[in-house]
A and B are shown apart, each in its own frame.
Chain A
Amino acid sequence: MKNLWLILTKYNAFFFFVVFFVFAYYLVVQNNTFQRASAVNSSNELVGAAYAKINGWKSYLHLSEDNALLAEENARLKEQLQRLMAPDSLEQGTVVDSSEKVQYHYIVAKVTNNSIHQKNNYITLDKGRIHGIKKGMGVISASGIVGIVLNVSDHFSTVQSLLHSETRVSAALEDSKAFGSLTWGDSYDAQVGTLKDIPNHVKVRKGEAVFTSGFSLFPPGIPIGRVIQTGVSGGDSFLDIKIELSTQFHNLQHVYVVDDILAAERTELESQNENNG
């Protein structure tokens, strides 16, 4: 007991330090929201990492079952494949009219006027109303999307380019399938657009491809570009993703105007939602 007391007095500086420091630390964690949150988070991180490790080990235990399942599935798929490879013509009774399944028609047009250096850019096409172009159709090129038809005359039509502060296109990321709206935004570069409204928790990879989602005028799966930069815009819960556009706006020659045959039906159906309330 005496020795303990001796140690305590001899190294009193250190023990006082521990006592006071622990008290200060307690105050920090207790009274500052940021530190409290990060203290809790780091413990969560620890727990999460432990669970991930355990799961990694546990997955080995199920390998044989998984293998059996996969082998079974392989057998089933092979059987199906064989049936398809050697079709019995007698079994195919109905003939499917594929023309009814086509949703999109493409009208080829040539660019007669184009700009990329304005804040709001427009493109003029050499096809118009008599060729079947209507207001609001989507316009794509071989390399990506171009814009939306704005006005139509008999022989010409103007397109509100993607390089326009008002143009918004529904776009989806390749990996996560998360969709947001693509705008040219505040960019001044004809090759760079911004993908907005992608929530924070979605993991975005640099170089990830971006496609049209099919929710707007464009058919799904048309390439838009690649992610070049991602990050959170100050204090927002959405990501701000910079996209390198795949469309070469500066040497645009031929474009396709997308005629969505079912568009009228869809907008009519969707407008009923709003009517009801």
Chain B
Amino acid sequence: MAKIFVNNIVRFVVLVILQVFLFKNIGYYNLAIPFPYILFILLLPVGIPNFLLYCIAFFTGITVDAFYDTLGVNAAACVALVWARILFIRITLQTDQYESYLTPLWGNVPFRWYFLYVTVLALFHHAVLFMMETFSFHQFHYTIIRVLLSCIFTVIIILLFSLLFYRKKQR
């Protein structure tokens, strides 16, 4: 239990630092911008209470926003992400897993589930994020292209991270 707690705090610090100092400067012209910090929210234990989950996500979003000078944009996206996460987990996992403190990381969960989980939630997060950032339906196709390309970018980086910490566990 304490280990999960410490793990998550370390993950939070490392991912946010990487996000605001490294990934903020990486991008393919304003079209594909990676946001791998959402991995922290994705990897929170499955059975965490909803309210706590929302609070943590909101706080994470605000922290990233503080560095991006876009107060509220990432927070809104993270909150949307959490909602998608709750629905996704409720639909795809069984009740016993659903109430455990399992970390949904590749190795603990099958790769196919993990891939789908990351892709769907990243798509959700990026859609809300870029809509909030653009804040209009003007040139909507451009926003959609940004969402899709950024999503691909983020998913690739997240999968690379996961590969780095991949450990086959007995389940």
Query: Hey, which bits of chain A sit against chain B, CB under 8 A?
Result: 12-14, 16-17, 20-21, 23-32, 34-35, 38-39, 42
Top-3 shortest CB links A-B: A27-B72, A24-B76, A28-B72
**Interface positions of B from 41 to 99, Cβ below 8 Å from A:** 50-51, 54, 57-58, 61, 70-73, 75-76, 79-80, 82-83, 86-87
Query: Hey, which bits of chain B sit against chain A, CB under 8 A?
Result: 50-51, 54, 57-58, 61, 70-73, 75-76, 79-80, 82-83, 86-87, 132, 135-136
Do residues B51 and A12 form an inter-chain contact, with CB atoms below 8 A?
A: yes
Q: Which residues of A contact B61 (CB under 8 A)?
A: 24
Q: Say yes or no: A31-B72 contact (C-beta < 8 A), given A13-B87, A20-B54.
A: yes
Do residues B70 and A32 form an inter-chain contact, with CB atoms below 8 A?
A: yes
28 contacts between A and B (CB under 8 A): A12-B50, A13-B50, A13-B83, A16-B54, A17-B79, A17-B82, A20-B58, A20-B79, A21-B80, A23-B58, A24-B72, A24-B75, A24-B79, A25-B76, A27-B71, A27-B72, A27-B75, A28-B70, A28-B72, A28-B73, A28-B76, A28-B132, A28-B135, A32-B72, A35-B132, A38-B136, A39-B135, A42-B136
Do residues A21 and B50 form an inter-chain contact, with CB atoms below 8 A?
A: no
Q: Say yes or no: A35-B135 contact (C-beta < 8 A), given A17-B54, A27-B71, A28-B72.
A: yes
Do residues A24 and B135 form an inter-chain contact, with CB atoms below 8 A?
A: no
Binding site of A, secondary structure by majority: helix, strand, loop or mixed? helix
Do residues B73 and A32 form an inter-chain contact, with CB atoms below 8 A?
A: yes
In whole angstroms, what is the CA distance A110 to B86 when docked?
Answer: 83
Question: Chain B nearest CB: distance from A15 CB in Å?
Answer: 9
In whole angstroms, what is the CA distance A184 to B122 when docked?
Answer: 50
Question: Chain B nearest CB: distance from A93 CB in Å?
Answer: 65
- Identify the closest chain B residue to A25 (Cβ): B76
In whole angstroms, what is the CA distance A4 to B49 when docked?
Answer: 20
Q: Which residues of A contact B50 (CB under 8 A)?
A: 12-13, 16
Do residues A14 and B71 form an inter-chain contact, with CB atoms below 8 A?
A: no
Q: Which residues of B contact A35 (CB under 8 A)?
A: 132, 135
- Identify the closest chain A residue to B82 (Cβ): A17
Do residues A28 and B71 form an inter-chain contact, with CB atoms below 8 A?
A: yes
Do residues A17 and B83 form an inter-chain contact, with CB atoms below 8 A?
A: yes
Q: Which one, B58, B72, B87, B136, contacts A25 given CB within 8 A? A: B72
Q: Which residues of A contact B75 (CB under 8 A)?
A: 20, 24, 27
In whole angstroms, what is the CA distance A13 to B87 when docked?
Answer: 8
In whole angstroms, what is the CA distance A1 to B42 when docked?
Answer: 35
